[in-house]
Amino acid sequence: MIQMISASNKACEICGTTSPEAYYSFIGEAAYIIILNSPHVQNHNPATRVVTFTDGQSAEYNVCIGDIGVKLKPVVIPHIFCSEACERELAHNHPMWSPEFPQKTAIFSCASSDMPISWPIVMDADILKLEICQCAQCSHDFPNTHKKFTVEEIQDTTVIEGIQGKIGIPPGFTGGQSDTKKDGERGNFYFYKFFDIPHESKPRIQLCSDECAYDYAKSNNCALFYPNNVVKGFITMIFPFTVEINQALGNAYKYRPHKICPL
């Protein structure tokens, strides 16, 4: 049974509900998948989790799910859910395994340009090397693995109303986010400019939740970048306009971070 660790009264990252039953779930992301019963598999050693293929090559995996061996990316991230139903909803929000693949190949990269997929895997906290960290915003202790927030100090911001697809980043600004969903839609565009600070000098802090990340960003006028396996294995960002944007978009989870780039 997978151990549950309390995240009481923090907002669920799926439905946005704040609940005393909220808990941390540790989510890994698949790097590649091995079809263990494929005719292209010559030998499978469950003890070492190593598979040898008919062409002489071999590969290892971390987790076995039925007839599928999963090799995880090195980053396992704590995320917050209010219920097992919302945790299951995470799986429904991601492309899942197709029975057609075993006929084509024995090993499939999840980063394949032909058919990239994101497959989140719930990990048992008992097998992870967890550390207890203190949140830099609320000072509560929480369990963590690889999740750290890189702080980018904001020098300037501007908000421009316009049409998606017709507005570019203003000169001198670093990037931006909008509350529009598709090209041709009118909305607000939130642009930011960061101070020019060498990457190695940027603070990296521990925060217990997205809502504490938002509160920290708002209080310190900064953007926070961090890995996220709920939004399909991306580096994501939270900044002072995150809640305003999510509310305008109608997202149930008002602290939902913005996708920046794949992990």
pLDDT for 100: 54
Pairing mode, if any, of strands 149-163 and 141-144? unpaired
User: Quick one: residue 40, left, alpha or beta (phi over 0 = left, psi -120 to 50 = alpha)?
Assistant: alpha
What's the whole-model pTM score?
Answer: 0.85
Tally of structural domains, the chain: 2
Looking at the structure, do residues 32 and 113 belong to the same domain, yes or no? Answer: yes
∠ CA 142-122-256, rounded to 5°: 65
Looking at the structure, do residues 34 and 110 belong to the same domain, yes or no? Answer: yes
pLDDT for 170: 95
Looking at the structure, do residues 9 and 119 belong to the same domain, yes or no? Answer: yes
Six-digit token string for 203: 């603070």
Q: What are the pLDDT tens digits along the chain (263 aa)?
A: 445 688 888 999 999 999 999 999 999 888 888 989 888 999 999 999 999 999 999 999 988 888 888 888 888 889 999 999 998 888 777 655 555 554 567 887 776 645 556 678 888 777 788 889 999 999 999 999 878 999 999 999 999 999 999 999 999 999 999 999 988 899 999 999 999 999 999 999 999 999 999 999 999 999 999 999 888 778 999 999 999 999 999 999 999 999 998 77
**Domain interval for residue 17:** 5-128
Cα(65)–Cα(88) distance, rounded to whole angstroms? Answer: 15
Of residues 30, 43, 31, 36, the one with CA closest to residue 106:
36
Would 225 be classed as within a structural domain? yes
pLDDT for 121: 82
Contact (CB, 8 A) for 195 and 234: no
Contact (CB, 8 A) for 136 and 148: no
Six-digit token string for 93: 């929000």
Looking at the structure, do residues 93 and 195 belong to the same domain, yes or no? Answer: no
Would 165 be classed as within a structural domain? yes
pLDDT for 130: 87
